[in-house]
Every structure is written in C-alpha cells, then in structure tokens.
C-alpha cells in the first residue's frame, strides 16, 4: 500500500512535469499515457497479467518491469536534454568571455606603433 | 586565375596543448599575409603565450570545450573583425599553408560557399592503414546517412564564405563538428567544392589526437547530439 501510494505520487508528479516542460505534443502524449497507465496498473495489478499474456510475457510483474524500463529510458532522455541545454549555456558563456578578453595580434600593434613613429617624425 | 583579395581572409586555428608546434604553424601561415586567430581551448601549457608572441590574435576559453567549440569561437571573432572568408586550419602542422590561397581562389572561381580539403584528391604522407580504413568507412557512412558524396570527411582544412559562417554554427563542441558541417551542407544544399590538399602525419600529430578509436567517439557524440536536441 505504501509503495503503491508512493509510485502513484511519483507518476502523477512526472505526468504534471511532462505537461509543463515537454514541448513536443507527441512525446508529451506518449509520456502522459504511460504515466496514467502505470498508475492504473498499480491499483489494478491483475490487469497487467492479462496484458502481459497478450504481449507474450508470462507475468504481470514482468510487464511492470518492462514498463518501468521504458520510463527510466524516458527519464534519461529528459536528463540528457537538460544536460545538453546546460552545456550549450556554458559554451555560450565561455565564448562570450573568450571574445571579450581577446588579445589582438601584437604584430598589428607593432605596425601601428611604426606608423605612429613615422607620423611623429 | 583571378587574384584573390586576402585582406579579409582569416585563418582560425583551434589549439589545445600545442606549445611545441603552434609558433611554427602560425609563422608559416602569417607568411601568406592573412590574419590569424588562435583559440586556446584552456591549454595547460604555454600555447596561449606562444601564439600571441608569434603574431596571432589570441582568444582563450576559460574551460576546455573541444575543437568544434573553439573553431566556432574563432569564426565569430573573425566575423566581428570583418572577415569575408574564413579558413579552418589545424594547429599541429598537418596542413600546408601554401594551399590556403589556391583553395580560396578555387572557391571564388566556382562561386561556392565552402571549399572542403580532400587528402584523397591530394597527397598524404605517413598515413597508417588503420587511419585510411577508418576514413574510408566514414566516407561511406557520410554518403549513406548524409547523402553527400565526398572523397574525404573529417578534414579540418576548409575555406568558408562569410555568408556561410553567418548561417552555420557549430553546435557539436567536440570532434563530431566535422560531421555536423557535412550534414548542414547536405540538408541546406550548400554549394561546395572539394580541393586537393596535402596532409602530413607526423609522430606528433598522431600522438596528439589521430587515434582510430576517435571514430567511435564521433559516432557516440552524433547519436547523443540527436537524442538530446
């Protein structure tokens, strides 16, 4: 009962998160269906055995494990996207600093100084 | 052959721990009367200092990002400085600076947006058979996945127009940037030419980063790049 409640809360949270942060409608829909199906299966475990048989898997628990794997993979993709987004931001910041602190060619300065000397003389 | 205006030609060199050869490379390129910008990708040696003393414009990444990111930084700097044509060039002495101007002229003559160096149209010295095999597989892979027919891929010697650089930005920070640019060329139907170039594999350059296992790394970067887009 405790685990079932915990998983329900977790999947509900992930469903809300998907609605808020996943922009692609198709991906969001798939995730939502997966999360709500998972909540349903937690409270109706016998259904999973029926579905598991339909897919050629022996037991309902195995089916849940397969579903869990799908969810974990989804979560990893979301994390990868976040990491990539962070990495892009770091890249842009690094680039900004590098260009801001650029040191122009000293050979140009030498030429400028030479020109100034010529003009002065 | 038309005379090239090289006053707005910028050579971008990405460098990471290249203190041994960076001065020589810059000095050889500067003999062509072009502007050189070196992007030091957070080296732990004296690459930055040596590049500056050799007469290049020098930028430094405060953290190590990779060759693709360093090239993009150098390109953006060159564009800010008014570059009309931009060359990407390796820091480790593999490329021949004598081929920069002929490559630019070929680009202009063919009204192309990018000229890609090809070691298989040109010459290679001391290339291992493993390297050759990996490159040939990469050529076939690029032909199948990108639909672009080239004689060489992952060659860092390129000449690009300002227009091209304004539209294309390297998002792959590390080695996969070379595939990224080819995908862009294929997708956007960019006018390109291949130009025969000479690549000299030295003991130094092989030790620095020409391992065949890099191909797997590039593949992984491309896959992860697509997933995490």
Q: What is the pLDDT of residues B96-152, one digit of tens each?
A: 999 999 999 999 999 999 999 998 887 777 777 777 787 788 788 877 777 788 888
Q: Match 């897919």 to its residue by tokens.
A: A55
Q: How far apart are CA A31 and CA A65, in angstroms?
A: 16
Domains and CATH numbers, chain B: 9-227 (3.90.550.10)
Q: Is B143 near chain A, with CB under 8 Å?
A: no
The number of distinct structural domains making up chain A is 1
Report yes or no: A42 and A8 within 8 Å, Cβ to Cβ: yes
B59 contacts on A by Cβ (under 8 Å)? 98-99, 101-103
Nearest residue on chain A to B224, alpha-carbon basis: A80
Give the closest residue to B166 by CA, choosing from B67, B82, B47. B82
The verdict on a CB contact (< 8 Å) between B36 and A105 is yes
Tell me the CA distances in angstroms from A74 to A9, B59, B224, one per residue in order: 18, 39, 14
3-state SS class at B44? coil
Instruction: Note the pLDDT tens digit of each residue in A76-109.
Output: 888 888 888 899 999 999 999 999 999 998 765 5
Show the beta-strand stretches assigned E in chain B. Answer: 9-15, 35-40, 57-60, 85-90, 114-125, 158-161, 192-200
Rounded to whole angstroms, the Cα distance separating A38 from A64 reads 8
pLDDT of residue B122: 76
Determine the average pLDDT of the residues in B200-211.
68
Kindly give the parts of chain A with pLDDT less than 70: 60-63, 66, 107-121
Give the gap in angstroms from C-alpha A16 to the nearest C-alpha of chain B: 21
Name every residue whose Cβ is closer than 8 Å to that of residue A80 and which is 6 or more positions away in sequence.
Answer: B224, B227, B228
Cα distances (angstroms) measured from residue A66 to each of A11, A14, A70, A105 = 16, 18, 7, 60
User: What phi, psi does B85 have (nearest 5°)?
Assistant: -135, 140
**Range(s) of the domain holding residue A53:** 2-120
Q: By percentage, how much of chain A surpasses pLDDT 90?
A: 16
Report how far residue B225's alpha carbon sits from residue B89's, in angstroms, rounded to the nearest whole number. 24
Does the CB of B80 have a partner CB in chain A at under 8 Å? Answer: yes
Whole-number average pLDDT of chain B: 87
Contact B217, B33 (CB under 8 A): no
| Predicted local distance difference test score (pLDDT) of residue B91 | 93
């Amino acid at each position: 009962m405790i685990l079932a409640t915990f998983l329900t809360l977790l999947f509900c949270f992930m469903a809300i998160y998907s609605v808020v942060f996943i922009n692609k409608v198709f991906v969001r829909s798939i995730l939502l269906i997966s999360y709500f199906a998972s909540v349903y299966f937690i409270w109706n475990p016998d259904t999973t055995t029926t579905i598991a048989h339909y897919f050629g898997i022996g037991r309902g628990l195995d089916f849940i494990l397969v579903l869990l794997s799908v969810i974990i993979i989804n979560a990893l993709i979301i994390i990868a996207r976040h990491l990539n987004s962070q990495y892009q931001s770091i890249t842009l910041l690094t680039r900004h600093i590098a260009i801001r602190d650029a040191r122009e060619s000293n050979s140009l300065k030498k030429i400028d100084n030479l020109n100034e000397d010529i003009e002065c003389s | 052959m038309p005379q090239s205006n090289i006053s707005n030609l910028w050579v971008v060199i990405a460098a990471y721990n290249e203190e041994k050869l960076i001065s020589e490379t810059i000095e050889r390129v500067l003999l062509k009367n072009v502007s050189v910008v070196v992007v030091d990708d957070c080296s732990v040696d004296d690459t930055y200092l040596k590049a500056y003393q050799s007469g290049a414009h020098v930028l430094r990444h405060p953290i190590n990002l990779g060759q693709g990111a360093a090239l993009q930084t150098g390109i953006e700097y060159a564009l800010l400085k008014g570059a009309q044509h931009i060359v990407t060039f390796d820091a480790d002495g593999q490329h021949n600076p004598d081929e920069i101007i002929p490559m630019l002229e070929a680009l202009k003559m063919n009204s192309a947006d990018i000229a890609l160096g090809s070691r298989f149209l040109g010459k290679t010295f001391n290339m291992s058979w493993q390297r050759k095999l990996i490159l040939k597989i990469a050529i076939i892979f690029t032909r199948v996945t990108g639909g672009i027919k080239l004689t060489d891929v992952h060659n860092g010697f390129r000449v690009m127009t300002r227009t091209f650089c304004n539209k294309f930005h390297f998002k792959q920070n590390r080695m996969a940037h070379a595939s990224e640019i080819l995908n862009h060329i294929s997708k956007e139907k960019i006018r390109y030419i291949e130009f025969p170039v000479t690549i000299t594999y030295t003991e130094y350059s092989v030790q620095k980063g020409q391992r065949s296992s890099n191909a797997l790394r590039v593949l992984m970067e491309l896959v992860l790049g697509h997933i995490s887009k």
